[in-house]
């Protein structure tokens, strides 16, 4: 499945959903909703990590 908004990396047939803000793993599974997802630290504004797109 192709995702336009969500960042999903595949390991075999399992997709790993990453935070759009910092890249931390949020969930694993076969299907994820195609929208932007953010972890708890990014949502609270306390996240110090920066996600580098394309890496």
The predicted-structure confidence for 19-42, as pLDDT tens digits, reads as follows: 999 999 999 999 999 999 999 999
Q: Is the dihedral of CA 4, 10, 22, 26 positive or negative?
A: positive
Per the prediction, the chain carries an average pLDDT of 89
Whether the per-residue pLDDT at 55 is higher than 50: the answer is no
39-49 average pLDDT score: 90
CA 8 to mean position of chain CA atoms? 6
8-19 average pLDDT score: 93
Given a contact cutoff of 8 angstroms between Cβ atoms, the answer to whether 25 and 41 are in contact is no
Select the more confidently predicted residue: 51 or 7: 7
């Amino acid at each position: 499945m192709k995702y336009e908004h969500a960042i999903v990396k595949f390991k075999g047939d399992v997709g790993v959903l990453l935070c759009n803000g910092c890249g931390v793993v949020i969930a694993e599974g076969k299907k994820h909703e195609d929208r932007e997802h953010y972890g708890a630290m990014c949502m609270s504004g306390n996240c110090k990590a920066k996600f580098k797109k394309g890496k």
